[in-house]
Chain A
Amino acid sequence: MSATISMGQRLRPGSATILRGILLAGLAILAMLPVLNRLPPESALYVSDFVVSVSGKWICYAILALAIDLAWGYAGILSLGHGAFFALGGYAIGMHLMRMIGPRGVYGHPVLPDFMVFLGYTELPWTWWGFSSFPFAFAMALVVPGLLAGVVGYLAFRSRITGVYLSIITQAMTYALMLAFFRNDMGFGGNNGFTDFKELLGMPLNTSGARALLFYAALIALGGALLLCAHLTRSKLGRVLVAVRDAESRVRFLGYDTVRVKLTVFVLSAMLAGLAGALYTPLVGIINPGEFSPGNSIEAVVWVAVGGRGTLVGALVGAFSVNAIKTWLTSFAPDLWLFVLGGLFVAVTLFLPRGIVGLLHKGDGK
């Protein structure tokens, strides 16, 4: 099975250096964008607001891709529900941002967000308790996805649900959450979700300064996530993960608690996805139940597949390149985009099982 495409770390001589160079150069260019945005518009190096916010979005997607890669590329857990963890993180911060609107809403209610006034709420539901505090909301953005992944993962791994079964279960999970969040009586804004945010930590959003700060926050988070994943995959746990991916029964027979190993990485991966979502909501200025749609999750899986799973750089390469194509194509030929995306699914699985980064690997790539 997956042993036929074992994802070793053996690269062609010099490839590792090239990859690291590309990675550092890419991150450096990204870090320059908000600075170039401050130049006068006539300047040749000027970068528009649009480019800054779009690349900020891509950074969040890259963190999500890293999370998926950690679970799929290293532990062989193909989750088709990571979009749900991402969205839950986004909703947690979104709830804080809604509380921060205060009396500036359309209805001017001192406490309740507009949609609650509209739906006839008289007080905040208990689920909103504590979300006026930023540290609490931020913690929830990590804890809630982690808890959900813990419960689903424990139930699934314990009864040895693996492979496609796990994929289907996680897809059903995000589907169920999407249906739930589309409901108005859940108290999470129904199908409109949250938007019209005003400020975060006392800083008014929607200014180029705030955008730059959020952008850097996302970039630092990406760097941190990258370092964490690099450390993790090189540790002993990382080696066990790859072993579980390639021959789970054998690892179990050797005495490892594979359930705990898989659960650890799955929860960590979900929290990483939650972090990505938490950074995404203030940057984009909206979060709605559409983020839970199964299509979103599977699209994120394709970023990793295109970039090259089982390598951390691959996840980043995939997230940035596929989203670059998407942004470019949807602006002038939106009808074509789904053909291209579908084609990517087919082409990558058939011809490029190790993704773009796999081209640099030793061997013929088969």
Chain B
Amino acid sequence: MLRSLLVLLLLLAAPARAQDAFTDALRGLGGNFQSQAEAVEKLGALGDPRALPLLQALAEGRLVKTADGTVQLREGDAGEPVRINNRVRVALRGALGRLQLLSPVEAERAAAADGLFRSRSPENIPLLEDALGRESSPAVRERMALALAASRLAAPQEGVKRQGILVLAEGGSAVARGLLLEARAAHPALAPEIDAAIAAIDRRLMLKTAAETAFQGLSLGSVLLLAALGLAVTFGVMGVINMAHGEMVMLGAYTTVMVQEALRGIPALAPLSLPLSVPAAFLVTAAVGVALERGLIRHLYGRPLETLLMTFGVGMIIQQAVRLIFGAQNREVLSPAWMQGTLSLPGGIEITQNRLWIILFALAVLGITIAAIRFTRFGLEMRAVVQNRRIAATMGIRTGRVDAMTFAFGSGIAGMAGVAVSQIDNVSPNLGTGYIIDSFMVVVFGGVGSLAGTMIGAFTLGIVNKMLEPWAGAVLAKIAVLVGIMLFIQRRPKGLFALKGRAAEP
């Protein structure tokens, strides 16, 4: 009852001229099939949004005749529903599509454009042209253009067809390609144009795939870079293999969880929990690193194999401790709003925001690391110790302190890597295990002791991995990369960027 009153009120409130045409057309819905079909077509052509619920009701058998010869929505089981035949149904489909195309709801317009794309009827050309002229949302415009091109392709006139082919070639989606292939079989006369269009689409699609693969590779590479950078510092600079490095990454991720939970109650700071986690993770893991270096590793300098075993044991203890304290199940880390969603680039390339942020973050961390080594007092002392420990000591550098600081720095970078990893991976106690072998591969590939090598190594491995994945699968791609590195170090045993020098192996 309320809904029919509403319809009536709407009818009364509408402007007089439009009301006349609209109510006139409405009356036809109650007549015979012939007048019904005419009325439906008229309502569709008028483009009045009020017609939409009525026509939908007609299609679903929820419309009843009233005593004064017009129609209204059916309430409960009252009255006999208005019956329709196939001719009316065909008219309804077109009219509904048209009305939806002008609907105020964006999603409905997009759905209508998709519907018209599927029906591919040349009668819709003027309608789509009209809707395209009014449309403001670029996403819907794109769909409408595609539907328009498809409708033009179905038109009998060759000129109109050519217009459609040109638009489809520019749009460049896989759907458009299928459509053109279909048209090529049906109209051999247009084959040259269609072939050119298909070639253009193929170029576009290839470019899009290449761009997306490159982005995924960069994204994987940036995670590898973050995980390997700290390792490059401790392994490259100090010659210390830290098998607990993966656990440092894991501790960084758990610090992110802790910071987020601590700030949950403070509305002012809660959105900033991720940026605040970065220094927190750095401090926590740097502290663990100092304790590890001063307490244990210090006693094993010059015995790299023992250091490897011992740090593996330390990693096990850290991992088990975290498992007992936080539980073995995955912990959830929320992404802030500005990191969510995807970014659409021209050409249909889609990029997830959080991956983009991680790439930027990785590059920033790399920049800070290089700057710290090149421009600070600590960096100078560190380089001096790398070049010649004894002479550095005679110049008054406290090498023990430099060692501890270097280790703290490397571990801190691992902690920051953990903050980034928490955004894309499950935070669980064995998070680090998955990264340690890959990070070592990056360092070995890039060349020990060269940060530029680490960067190039990380991005190369990331991109190669993602390039192999489509035709080899994720696991085989990983194996292929490992085998590739094995073969690569046949040629360059010291990695891409070996430190030059005449020092013989010990």
Please indicate whether A and B come from the same complex rather than being unrelated chains: yes
A contact residues around B316 at 8 Å (CB) = 338-339, 341-342, 345
Smallest CB separation, A82 vs chain B (Å): 14
A249 and B314 CA atoms in complex are apart in Å by 33
The answer to whether the Cβ of B333 comes within 8 Å of any Cβ in the partner chain is no
The answer to whether the Cβ of A158 comes within 8 Å of any Cβ in the partner chain is yes
A172 and B443 CA atoms in complex are apart in Å by 13
B contact residues around A343 at 8 Å (CB) = 313, 317
Chain B interface category by residue count: 35 or more
A180 and B478 CA atoms in complex are apart in Å by 10
Of A152, A164, A342, which contacts B241 at CB under 8 A? A164
The answer to whether the Cβ of A331 comes within 8 Å of any Cβ in the partner chain is no
The answer to whether the Cβ of B306 comes within 8 Å of any Cβ in the partner chain is yes
Chain A interface category by residue count: 35 or more
A143-160 to B contact mask, C-beta < 8 Å, 1/0: 000000000100110111
Chain A contact residues, majority secondary structure: helix
Smallest CB separation, B360 vs chain A (Å): 30
A167 and B320 CA atoms in complex are apart in Å by 24
B contact residues around A286 at 8 Å (CB) = none
Verify B479–A164 contact, CB threshold 8 A. Answer: no
A contact residues around B308 at 8 Å (CB) = 78, 164, 167
Smallest CB separation, B128 vs chain A (Å): 47
Of A2, A168, A335, A348, which contacts B444 at CB under 8 A? A168
B contact residues around A311 at 8 Å (CB) = none
Verify B505–A162 contact, CB threshold 8 A. Answer: yes
The answer to whether the Cβ of A6 comes within 8 Å of any Cβ in the partner chain is no
Verify B320–A339 contact, CB threshold 8 A. Answer: yes
Q: Which residues of A contact B (CB under 8 A)?
A: 1-2, 4-5, 78, 152, 155-156, 158-165, 167-169, 171-173, 175-176, 179-180, 182-183, 248-249, 294, 298, 301-302, 305, 335, 338-339, 341-346, 348-350, 353
Verify A350–B312 contact, CB threshold 8 A. Answer: no
B428-442 to A contact mask, C-beta < 8 Å, 1/0: 000000000100110
Verify A173–B482 contact, CB threshold 8 A. Answer: yes
Verify B313–A341 contact, CB threshold 8 A. Answer: yes
Smallest CB separation, B380 vs chain A (Å): 27
A contact residues around B304 at 8 Å (CB) = 163-164
Verify B505–A349 contact, CB threshold 8 A. Answer: no
A contact residues around B300 at 8 Å (CB) = 349-350
A302 and B486 CA atoms in complex are apart in Å by 26
Smallest CB separation, B494 vs chain A (Å): 9
With A172-B440, A335-B324: A349-B483 Cβ-Cβ less than 8 Å: no
The list of the 9 closest CB pairs from A to B, nearest first, reads A345-B313, A342-B316, A342-B317, A338-B320, A342-B313, A349-B310, A349-B306, A159-B493, A176-B479
A353 and B307 CA atoms in complex are apart in Å by 11
B contact residues around A5 at 8 Å (CB) = 303
Verify A346–B310 contact, CB threshold 8 A. Answer: yes
A346 and B314 CA atoms in complex are apart in Å by 7
A159 and B506 CA atoms in complex are apart in Å by 16
B contact residues around A345 at 8 Å (CB) = 309-310, 312-314, 316
A contact residues around B321 at 8 Å (CB) = 339
